[in-house]
Amino acid sequence: MEYEVVIGLEIHLELQTQSKLFCSCSTSFGKEPNTNCCPVCLGLPGSLPVFNRKAIELAVTAALALNSSVQLNSRFDRKNYHYPDLPKAYQVSQYEKPIALGGCLELEIDDQVKKVNLERVHLEEEAGKLIHSGDSIIGSDYSKVDYNRAGIPLLEIVTKPDLCSGHEARLFLEELRMLLLYSGASDCKMEEGSLRCDANISLRPMGSKQLGTKAEVKNMNSFKAVEMALNYEAERQRQILISGGSVIQQTCHWDEEEKVTVPLRSKEGSSDYRYFPEPDLLPLLLEEKEVNIIKSVLPESPMDRRLRFQKEYGLAKSEASLFTSNRPLGEYFEIVALKYKDYSNLARWIQGDYLYQLREAGKSESALEPDKLVELLNLLDNGDINRPVAKELLAEMVRSGESPSRLVNEKGLKQISGHDMLLPLVEKVINENPDAVNNYLGGKEKALKFLIGQVMALSGGRADPGEVKKMLISKIAE
Amino acid sequence: MAIDFRKDVEHVAKLARLELTKTEKETMAGQLSDILDTARRIQELDTEGIEPTSHVIDFPATMREDEVGASLPLNRVLQNAPKRDNDFFRVPRIAKSGNDGQ
Ligand SMILES: [Zn+2]
């Protein structure tokens, strides 16, 4: 029997605030352990939480970016469970009335637009960080806890089971990450744990409407790990089903070393969390006006930008994608494009030589003043310099920030062009290389290349190779 | 009401990591039964069309600006820690039991 894979994702995202969700402790990463803690985020008796306005705004921003319907009246609940990373023995989260419902994200998969629907978006507090003394969660003797992270605003995004492979899950996460980066809600740094993803995965007979028994996969620490873990788990379940067995509902950890999923514990029912309304926090009431203000300043989405770059500048899809995924480079392109109208030529230079030279020099995307790039391209277009010289100049400009016309004058790089200037060089080369001329006349194209090279060398690289080629051909034919 | 709540008490005690004696369990089962009886009587009221009340105060939550303030000094943070390992809280291994939420 043929099976299809059904995947839903739960994404956790730390919002980009300065202070925590319910107290004014700093959220900055990498501080000495337990130094960003106060009575509120340590859960000391008698302390009371107060909402961080910015966290709410960023949650709304992210929800709007995800086309999720922002709820003007939402509520916080206590999710009760015992785990040492949770100082209060409950997590303040949203259960019954989340801040946003529904939503979707469109992404391109193999040239097809796929719409992935969302279940909900809700706000909660981050837990502390556990450091296991042994090599793994199961083998450790004891654990150490750092509560610096506890209480950082965390957004949970839950998708519908709309994804059908590890590859799709990865593409979805990449698009989601870019969208949320663009929105400014989070820095989405997976390596610092500010973006994390768990997955629910099950198989069902192709065409069936009913969902199969699922496994929850955790501990996937990169997009690549998500893809590998889900492909592995799908195959594991397929083997069980093919051999007539049945999948049991469980939570697995992705073992990055062994590249396998390892069952962790049987999943407790959600009623065991004994959710109830958080008595210390009043309901979160938003005004439509506030939500509309946030909506009005929402930045363009990556998908919109990709389409606009293709439409407005006539760029190829790959170029538009590059200028979207490398946002500062795209912004640089747009600034230069205000003054230089051959957009496809500009795109080629920026994604080619310019980007290369930036990397070589270790500089940021906007390192070169836009006017200087315009000046360089104009010099080239007007025939004042040739292409190899332009490339060389660009490297120098990125390094030193020098203006191209000054460099041209200083180094005497102006192009040698026109019949009168080139003719003496062409004639000299023909006279000094009779063998090559004969070889060319005998049909050897390579010989012509050699002759062009000789003329270029004589010109100090300042001639236009195209023009040299034409002159050589006509001169030899005389 | 003849419903025996001892199983429920045991379940909740386990979730709360509490160890109860047999007598305590019996006492609490009786108390739980009384509490739920009262709840049952309240449930007889007609609440059709009335929004469930989660909070009795009727105004929006207050907000603070996103500004960093002082945290506690480390010795105060760790003052109540049953065990510590340098600047960390030290806790028993969690192994396979328990729950890591989210
Ligand atoms: Zn705090």
pLDDT at A265 over 70: no
* Residue A38 CA to ligand 1 centre (angstroms): 4
pLDDT digits (tens, 9 = 90+) for B44-84: 999 999 988 888 887 778 899 999 999 999 999 999 999 99
Q: For A211-239, how does the pLDDT look when each residue is reduced to its tens digit (9 = 90+)? A: 999 999 999 999 999 999 999 999 999 99
What percent of chain B has pLDDT above 70?
89
Contact criterion met (CB < 8 Å) for A282 and B64:
no
Flag if B63 and A56 touch (Cβ within 8 Å): yes
Instruction: Give the closest of A86, A264, A272 to B15, CB-based.
Output: A272
| Nearest CB to B91 within list A42, A44, A145 | A145
Taking only the tens place, the pLDDT of each residue in A307-316 is 999 999 999 9
The answer to whether residue B74 is domain-embedded is: no
Residue B52 lies in a domain: no
* Long-range contacts formed by A408-411: CB under 8 A, 24+ apart: A408/A379, A408/A384
Which of B85, B99, B100 faces A144 most closely, judged by CB atoms?
A: B85
Residue B83 included in any domain: no
Chain B residues in contact with A147 (beta carbon < 8 A): 77, 89
- Position B102 confidence tier, pLDDT thresholds 50, 70, 90: very low
pLDDT confidence tier of residue A64, bands split at 50, 70 and 90? very high
Is the residue at B18 inside a domain? yes
- Average pLDDT in chain A: 91
Average pLDDT over residues A433-437: 88
pLDDT digits (tens, 9 = 90+) for A41-57: 999 999 999 999 999 99
Domain count within chain B: 1
Structure confidence by residue, pLDDT tens digits, A93-103? 999 999 999 99
- Asked if A53's CB is within 8 angstroms of B64's CB, the reply is yes
B10 located within any domain: yes
User: How many A/B residue pairs have CB atoms within 8 Å?
Assistant: 153
Q: Range of B20's domain?
A: 6-43
Residue B15 maps to which CATH number? 1.10.20.60
Residue B96, domain member (yes or no): no
Interior/surface letters A315-352, b for 16+ CB within 10 angstroms, e for the rest: beeebbbbbbebbebbebbbbbbeebeebeebbebbbe
In this structure, the strands spanning A129-132 and A3-14 are unpaired
Mean pLDDT value across residues A463-467: 82
What's the pLDDT tens digit per position in A141-174? 788 999 999 999 999 999 999 999 999 999 999 9
Is this prediction's ipTM beyond 0.90? Answer: no
Angle between helix A53-65 and helix A166-183 axes, rounded to 10 deg: 130
* Structural domains for chain A: 3-295 (no CATH), 302-411 (no CATH), 419-477 (1.10.10.410)
Q: Does residue B30 belong to any structural domain of this protein?
A: yes
Please report the pLDDT score of residue B2 as a whole number.
Answer: 54
**Which pLDDT value is given to residue B101?**
39
Residue A266 pLDDT grade (very low, low, confident, very high; cuts 50, 70, 90): low
Average pLDDT over residues A349-358: 94
Q: Shortest CA distance to B28 belongs to which of B5, B50, B47?
A: B5
Length of chain B: 102
On whether residue B39 sits in a domain, the answer given is: yes
Kindly tell me if the per-residue pLDDT of A134 is higher than 70: no
Q: What is the pTM of this model?
A: 0.83
User: Residue A385 — pLDDT band, cuts 50, 70, 90?
Assistant: confident
pLDDT value, residue A245:
92
Which stretch of A259-268, A444-453, B87-96 has the lowest confidence by average pLDDT? A259-268
What distance in angstroms lies between residue A77's CA and the mean position of ligand 1's atoms? 19
> What pLDDT was estimated at residue B100?
43
Range with the poorest average pLDDT among A81-90, A330-339, A413-422: A413-422
pLDDT score at B99: 41
| pLDDT more than 70, % of chain A | 96
Give residue A271's pLDDT.
58
Residues A1/A204, Cβ–Cβ less than 8 Å: no
